[in-house]
Structure 1
Amino acid sequence: MKERVLIIDGSSLFFRAFYALPLLKTKRGIYTNAIYGFIMMLENAIEKVNPNYLVVCFDMKGKTFRNDLYKDYKGTRQKTPTELEQQWPIVRDIIDKMNIKILESPVYEADDIAGTLSLTAENEGYDSILLTGDKDYFQLVDKNTQVLLTRKGITEMDIISVESIKEDYDITPEEFIDLKGLMGDNSDNIPGVPGIGEKTGLKLVREFGTIENLYDNLDKVTGKKLKENLENYKTQAFMSKKLGTIVRNVPLDVGIKDLKIQERNYEDLSNMYREYEFNTLLQRLPEEFHKADIEMISGDLIKYEDKSLDEVIDSIHSKKSFAFKFVTDGKIYESIKPIYLAIKVNDDAPVILNIDDEKTLKLKSIFEDENIEKIGHNLKEDIMILMDYEIDIKNYTYDSMIAEYILNSTESNYDINNLSNIYFSIGYMDLDELLGKGKKSKKFSEIEEDELKKYFAFYLNTIHNLKSLQLEKIKEQGMDELYYEIELPLVEVLSSMEFIGIRTKSSVLDDIGDNLDIKIKELEKNIYREAGEEFNINSPKKLGVILFEKLNYPVIKKTKTGYSTSADVLEKLEGKGEIINYVLEYRQLAKLKSTYVDGLKELINGDTGRIHSHFNQTVTSTGRISSTDPNLQNIPIRTDEGRLIRKAFLASEDCLLVDADYSQIELRVLASISNDKNMIEAFDNDDDIHRRTASEVFGVDFDDVTPLLRSRAKAVNFGIVYGISDYGLSQNLNIPRKVAADYIEKYLKHYSGIKDYMDNEVEKARSKGYVETILKRRRYIPELNAKNYNIRSFGERVAFNTPIQGSAADIIKIAMVKVYEALRDEKLESKLILQIHDELIVDAKEDEADKVKKLMKDIMEQAVELKVKLKVDMEVGSSLYDTK
């Protein structure tokens, strides 16, 4: 088997990585998405190809010989974004630490260097593989040279061979040069021949082969306009072919032997991956370079002690503080009991105890002792276990996951191993490494005991080491109140809500499902009748053929596989024919059936008869709580059929659901923080704010505002909160963009305080680097300093809407904590069970319902003091359907 040379088109890969991934950045604000994506593609290619020789080819800044041929070559390319520019030296440094040769030239491009190397490799008896995202490289393919073409994102790669080119294009690799000469290339500003795209170009190349042969036989070309363009742009066609031809005789001062794969500098790579927070890449290094140096922080990070429970209890009583974690293979409300309890008492080495009911209950007095401090990570899961044992935890003072969330709300990974890497540049392993992923994943109970104990020793030691660092940062940033009075007590509130769940009746869902089936079948018949045939309605391709070929509806948008039949496309065609309305309704009802009826039935706990949604405290960057499995924030309310789903969510026996919903909380926050006198006055007068806005913006008397105008004003009101553009508003309201822009302009003219707030908040954020909510919750916005317009515009929207959305989130969280504590302190049996956007729902005992209503209204309306009063709407019913 011949040895292989892997040639990397570095510039192509680097740009692909930048645009394929979101703007990742480190704690220090250094952008890293292009670096990470590039190295991942490089590593994946090495694994796929297993080369003997390796090189990266880069373009250099400045003009090349092609600019002498055509001065406007690549002339339309935009300036490299600053966010990408600053990543170039870092990726080169990493490549250097990998001991991979970098080749570049001030005269030639990376393509030419790669082409020269592949020809040299072939002449010397090697196979070569070229990794790129550029189809120009197809011209280099032969029996000894293949292209590894990057596809979607950074993970998909296709091998391009002589055979695959023949199968896909029915031309030879060499003929791609002629195809480019005819088509040109917008990205490189190669002109080609006007009017010739890929389809026509391929047809000509298949018929005539080369451009030279085409022009020798121009009289055989059919189509008057095509022949005319070919005649008029002959010089341009030949120039374009020359521009598109990869040079294969670049003078190089290295040979293939000089590209032999070398041992990497793993120690330097390990340090760099830690510095730039590339934890996934870190794990790909040999074990000794990504496992923890156990002496680096304070003692042995993975060392544990064997002690009895009684010894641990004595130590806790003596030192009055401990970190803990229950080790379990599932949720306690699914009757899955914990198997271990890991405990670390101050500076003592952790102890990992086999746990059972008797041992857990023996700890009851310690967990309920207000004089003993408890700390942990993701304590919500642990508190639910304690609740199952009827243990009421007291004096938990620190949760490292919650602390990191308020310090950096845009972080996507709060795993304890990731936090260790961020703060200490050292890690051990994350959960995926310990348990595995996918079909090969294991349970904790299946892990070898010593390995599991080492992991949880590391887990607790890291919590212990993080505590002072995180709490000091929280204090420095003025977020003590947010952390200690809101986010930390909220952990227990969410634990209780998830543990209790909401009663859900599957028979109600069955009835709803049966009715939906009848309607869906009827819609199918109507669609088939309109189409004149039966077909798979769920196939976008087949639906596209019916709508746009058979029924001749105007084509709105095309995809690679045919016609787009997405919701936004069909909505643009709404009213143009019955079949469009039928398909839209069919899709809506089919989704209701599959997602909400069938999906919810599967999530009803067989033991409790309740759905236990997972409430997430650290997911959204605005501070909002989210829920999953199921997402109870997303129960349909806009259609009659969707609202029926709420009938399945019931109060407990002898209970009623009390639903308290903040009225227009985000607009009240906006009025308050912007100090806009017109909006404050409208709220003070208890006006219908959307009607008032319609009256002022559209210039009609308050009493003459139509439902349509009110609806449009509502869209503008909430659109402003979310930073909507004129284009976004035009799409929402299905109106011309110019009209939408006029609405926004009139709105901001009338509510001038809001306009001033928006401008000032963006400027403050640009100078400080972050924005704050009323409780000092921060969100950093590095995007504000981007040179790329779209990225910068996103940052500006975030700058003025985060304080609004985040402050609303602060208020609902304050209310949740206070309502939960009031129900407990009043010793009521009623329980807070749900938070859905701006509403709180209590499962209230019938004889406590009136008291609960008053308690909730008082607490929620007095949660914070704004310049306008908070208002709460109250409803009571036996199901969620009854409360709306």
Structure 2
Amino acid sequence: MSHFVLIDGNSIANRAFYALPLLSTSQGLHTNAVLGFTTMLLKVIEEMKPTHILVAFDAGKVVFRHSEYTEYKGKRAKTPPELSEQFPLIRELLDAFAIKRYEMEGYEADDIIGTLTLRADDEKIKTTVITGDKDMLQLVSENVSTALTRKGVSEIDLYTADEIMEKYGLSPLQIIDLKGLMGDTSDNIPGVPGVGEKTAMKLLHQYHSVEEVLAHIDEVSGKKLQENLRNNVEQAKMSKSLATILRDAPVDLQVNEVTYEGYNADQLVEFFKKMEFKSLLSKVKGASNTADSYGQGAMEDAVEGETESESKPFQYVLINEENKNEHTDKLSSPMSMYVEMDGENYHYAPVLGFGLASADYVLYVPFDVAMNWPAFTEWLADEKQHKMVFDAKKEIVGLSWHDMKLEGITFDLFLASYLINASESNPTLAGATARLADIQVANDDDVYGKGAKRALPALEMLSEHVARKALAIWQSVPKAKDELEENHLTDLFNKMEEPLSLVLAEMEKIGVKVDTAQLNDMGVELDKQLEELTAKIYDQAGIEFNINSPKQLGEVLFEKMGIPPEKKTKTGYSTSADVLEKLQHKYPIVIDILHFRQLGKLRSTYIEGLLKEIHGKTGKVHTRFNQATTATGRLSSTDPNLQNIPIRLEEGRKIRKAFVPSNEGCYILAADYSQIELRILAHISKDKNLIEAFINDMDIHSKTAMDVFGVEKEEVTSLMRRQAKAVNFGIVYGISDFGLSQNLNISRKDAGDFISRYFEVFSGVQNYMEEIKKQAKKDGYVTTLLHRRRYLPDIASKNFNLRSFAERTAMNTPIQGTAADIIKLAMIQMQKTLEEKQLKSRMLLQVHDELVFEVPEEELEIMKELVADVMEHALELDVPLKVDVNYGRSWYDAK
């Protein structure tokens, strides 16, 4: 699961500076802010495990808010020089951590963070903002939390919407209104004289917003308070505007550009030495034992290569056309192997070479040599020649594009590392072997360079780098096997994850045919709809304008048409999705604008995007299935991401029309598990009412509505069923009364009553939730039915927010993880059955709880029964698994 961490650089640096005594190096360099910032970063990386991270800074003292109020932040004391001199060091620190930083003239760090949190929120990415500024609480949403530092920066309090409501009795957006009324002395926001936090909260509890308070001044108790409000109407409005964080700043950075793959250990050690942070040196994982540069002195002669590394020489043999036959006898079994490719997407990446290692020697075979060495290609394809690798699927598929066959894989260190620590998404070889091997492996970025500076290294450096990888795998495998055994994960590894990787490799190689003509026709149709919507919007607005321009759109809606704006900043009116969605029920033009945006995204992301992904050799898309990404074990896909096609929108569903069979006379068959997570919940919780409902094949949502509302089947209304459905699926994710109230647009009290009645009826579910939390606190982890393990380091945390999240994870993981395991078992069994029965049908895709096949017409009746049978019996539960099977001439028609 992705986790985006955004850090308010100036806020954290300031708090660290004032929290720690004034420290300096022997050269007189002040370092207390740097030290505080460093300890915070180490803690964030260790505990939050971000997949994406960015530090935002203020670019200067003058920002757009000064044009609205020249005295904004006017009373702040001048930054002490002892702190100013540390900001360049903090930037150097971030470079050593390989963490991206960003600042923008005329805007504050808050606005950068506000804009990026909204973008992440739109993509449903879990996001945490780390700051010392309570203003950031306004950014909190279902996917965004704010972590406020305390005790300097050594501890944090994590705020979700529930915690904000619990502490202030306010929603996140009302934090802006709070500042508008009470002001903020640190930013010199005036607010209303005489209104402090207590009075402001009382007013907001009654009237909800600054505007509503000002509209009801005559009803406010207290003549003095009435007078202050009446005399400061414009000042209150301005204060609210100043306190509003911009959510649509022109930030030319996307979430996917700040992925975090770990720090450069050696660079960080050098920085710590410069800062004289001796106590932190031991906390850096994976640093060299010496200061030797990586790859120095590699391969002086063309045959034997030696470099000084660690405590003993590293030796390997570089194979070339002249010496290859002399080393044929070294191609033995077992060996470890690493296939080096130039690029992340192995469907396109060139193969550079092969690293091989055994107990006695290490080899590097360049690709051009390997292709012309029959002894090597025969060894590679021989299933009796056992090979230990890192990411078997990547190597099998990557080599297949070069007509090279890889067989005989007996251990995949990539999958073993993932199972041992599932919270570490997509483990790298350098990271996985740092703990297990005696030899050090550099991160690829240190060898190839980053971004525009990326380039293929010289043969000497490349050959040593890949040879080290092979030896690190060899050294790591025995320890990894021991850890799998100790954690009772050996069966899961041997019987599920490794066999599944071979199934996924076959699916990726097959690919899915995409009808380009159909896609182009859809593009034309979308263009037509966009033109019609554009004309309709212009007609309603009475003016032509750029609908994609937030500035022009805001002016049309909120000035020309007079629609009351939700939010306004100095740069213009906010026209973000959350703002427009609140207005769509009153204003038809807003409905059309939202539809315009949806169709525009479909056009660019899914029509143009899919066309770009069609492979030149096959005319198909070859998605990459990510097997080691999620902590629950669920698969995901990339390039293209087939799980994000917006099928709730009819135009989005139609995109599936372009996914068609590769061969004439074939059908697309789709098989989907029905309510699999609720069925697993029934099995795990042993709840009699749930089990009875599924055994009797009842509509579970109607059954829940009957039991909770105490009505007969014919009395269940569509509203009752909808509410019951929200609770059924919400319970699996540990939904709170607040969360349910937001989903159903009911009061928090009514939502709480609904959940209480649910647990009265389904007491087994409540017992399960309590017991699983107790067990998680005792063991420190939870498992699926097939023993997949997820560790929960925060389950006993004293911090309420961290503990609550861990408890919700404990309740959900056994259910969601078991669902993931079941479909994996079904895929393995399905592939085995297809081969045993010598059927021509082929498995193409796995998306959520669905499997997609290409089926010849003559096998259609067989496959309809066979797929359902295999999937429904993948794992026997106390309740039956149910699979819906449909087919058609396209993926769309098969639903």
Cα contact 1:671–1:868 (8 A) shared by 2: yes
Give the match for residue 660 of structure 1: 671
Moved more, 770-779 or 820-829: 820-829
Measured at CA, do residues 138 and 422 of structure 1 come closer, stay the same or move farther in structure 2, by a change above 3 Å? farther
**Structure 2 residue aligned with 1:768:** 779
* Mean CA deviation greater in 638-647 or 566-575: 566-575
C-alpha distance in 1 between matches for 2:742 and 2:882: 31
Corresponding residue SS for 2:845: strand
**1:296–1:408 CA distance, 2 compared to 1 (3 A):** farther
2:838 to 821, 827, 830: 827
Q: How does 1:526-537 map to 2 (within 5 A)?
A: 526-537=536-547
Amino acid at match of 1:140: K
CA distance in 2, matches of 1:774, 1:369: 36
> How far apart are 1:707 and its partner, in Å?
3.0
Displacement of 1:325 = 2.0
Task: Determine if contact 2:295/2:465 at 8 Å carries over to the other structure.
Answer: no
1:745 aligns with 2:756: yes
Deviation, 1:717, is 1.4
C-alpha distance 685-426 of structure 1, shift in aligned 2 (>3 A): same
Identify the residue that residue 472 of structure 1 maps to in structure 2.
482
Is contact 2:425–2:631 with CA below 8 Å preserved after alignment?
Answer: no
The CA distance in 2 between the partners of 1:607 and 1:20, in whole Å, is: 36
Change (3 A) 1:391 1:830: farther
In the alignment, the residues of structure 2 paired with residue 684 and residue 781 of structure 1 have an alpha-carbon distance, to the nearest angstrom, of 34
- Which residue does the alignment assign to 1:589? 599
Q: 1:270 to 1:368 in 2, by over 3 A?
A: farther
- 8 Å CA contact 1:302–1:455 kept in 2: the answer is no
Cross-structure match for 1:404: 417
Cα distance, 1:694–1:376 mapped onto 2, change above 3 Å: same
Q: Quote the Cα distance in structure 2 between the aligned partners of 1:366 and 1:615.
A: 27
Give the match for residue 432 of structure 1.
445
Coordinate RMSD, CA, aligned = 4.5
Q: 1:426 to 1:195 in 2, by over 3 A?
A: farther
- Structure 2 letter corresponding to 1:845: P
Does 2:505 correspond to 1:495? yes
How far off its partner does 1:573 sit?
A: 2.3
Could you tell me whether the CA contact under 8 Å between 2:418 and 2:425 is conserved in 1?
A: no
Alpha-carbon contact 1:831-1:844 (below 8 Å) kept: yes
TM-score, reference length from structure 2: 0.70
1:160 positional shift = 11
Matched, 1:155 2:93: no
| 1:872 equivalent in structure 2 | 883
Residue by residue over 1:245-299, the C-alpha shift from the partner in whole angstroms, topping out at 9 and shown as x without a partner, is: xxxxxxxxxxxxxxxxx9964799699456344x6xx69x995388899888796
* Range moving further from structure 2, 618-627 or 414-423: 414-423
Q: Distance in 2 between matches of 1:286 and 1:325?
A: 28
Change (3 A) 1:312 1:157: same
Aligned counterparts of 1:187 and 1:810: Cα–Cα separation in 2: 52
Q: Distance in 1 between matches of 2:376 and 2:271?
A: 53
Q: Which residue of 2 aligns with 1:248?
A: none
Of 362-371 and 723-732, more deviation after overlay is shown by: 362-371
How much has 1:793 moved relative to structure 2? 1.7
Distance 1:194 1:296, change over 3 A: farther
Do 1:302 and 1:458's aligned partners in 2 also have CA atoms closer than 8 Å? no
What residue identity is the alignment partner of 2:339?
A: K
Indicate the SS of the match to 1:397: strand
1:833 to partner: Cα distance: 1.2
d(CA) in 2 for partners of 1:299, 1:656: 61
Moved more, 816-825 or 629-638: 816-825
Distance change >3 Å, CA 580–CA 832, structure 1 → 2: same
| Distance in 1, Cα, partners of 2:629 & 2:798 | 28
Q: For structure 1, which segment, 677-686 or 406-415, has the greater mean C-alpha deviation from structure 2 after superposition?
A: 406-415
Cα distance in 2 for residues equivalent to 1:507 and 1:759 = 55
Paired residue for 1:382?
395
Answering whether residue 78 of structure 2 is matched by residue 140 of structure 1, we say: yes
Q: What amino acid is aligned across from residue 704 of structure 2 in structure 1?
A: T
CA contact (8 A) 1:338 1:355 kept: no
Give the corresponding residue for 2:801: 790
**Alpha carbons of 1:783 and 1:550: their partners in 2 closer, same or farther (altered >3 Å)?**
farther
Q: Distance in 2 between matches of 1:146 and 1:275?
A: 27
**Which consecutive unaligned segments of at least 5 residues does structure 2 have?**
18-24, 48-71, 108-181, 198-225, 233-269, 297-305
**Pair 1:678 & 2:689 matched:** yes
* Aligned-pair identity (%): 38
Specify which of 321, 326, 339 is matched with residue 325 of structure 1. 339
For residues 553 and 275 of structure 1, what CA distance do their matches in structure 2 show? 56
Q: Report SS of the residue matched to 2:608.
A: helix
> Equivalent residues in 2 for 1:278-677 (5 A)?
288=292, 300-301=313-314, 303-306=316-319, 308-317=323-332, 319-328=333-342, 333-334=347-348, 338-355=351-368, 358-359=371-372, 362-363=375-376, 365-388=378-401, 393-412=406-425, 414-423=427-436, 427-442=440-455, 446-557=456-567, 561-654=571-664, 655-677=666-688
Q: Could you tell me whether the CA contact under 8 Å between 1:327 and 1:341 is conserved in 2?
A: no
TM-score by length of 1: 0.70
Residue of 820, 834, 838 corresponding to 1:809: 820
Change (3 A) 1:300 1:622: farther
C-alpha contact 1:341 1:355 (8 A) present in aligned 2: no
Q: Is the 8 A contact 1:831 1:843 kept in 2?
A: yes
Distance in 1 of aligned mates of 2:681 and 2:649? 29
Deviation string 1:352-408 (CA, Å, 9 cap, x unpaired) is: 344468547654543444432211112212111444466664441211111111111
Contact 1:304-1:454 within 8 A present in 2 as well: no
1:194 aligns with 2:194: yes
For the structure 1 residues 60 and 340, does the alpha-carbon distance in structure 2 shift closer, same or farther, using more than 3 Å as the test? closer
Deviation at 1:705, TM superposition (A): 2.3
CA distance in 2 between counterparts of 1:795 and 1:142 reads 41
Gap change, CA 1:192 and 1:510, over 3 Å in 2 = closer
Matching residue's letter, 2:78: L
Contact kept in structure 2, 1:494 and 1:615, CA below 8 Å: yes
2:221 corresponding residue in structure 1: none
Q: Which segment is superposed worse, 186-195 or 594-603?
A: 186-195
Counterparts of 1:320 and 1:20, CA distance in 2:
41
**Does the aligned pair in 2 maintain the 1:646–1:881 contact within 8 Å?**
yes
Work out the CA distance in 1 between the residues paired with 2:439 and 2:375.
Answer: 36
Q: What is aligned with 2:202?
A: none
> For residues 302 and 622 of structure 1, what CA distance do their matches in structure 2 show?
41
State the shift of 1:156 in Å: 3.6
**Offset of 1:644 from its aligned partner?**
0.7
Amino acid at match of 1:315: K
Give the number of aligned pairs.
Answer: 701
Is contact 1:297-1:424 (8 Å) kept? no
Query: Residues of 1 paired with 2:73 and 2:794: CA distance?
Result: 32
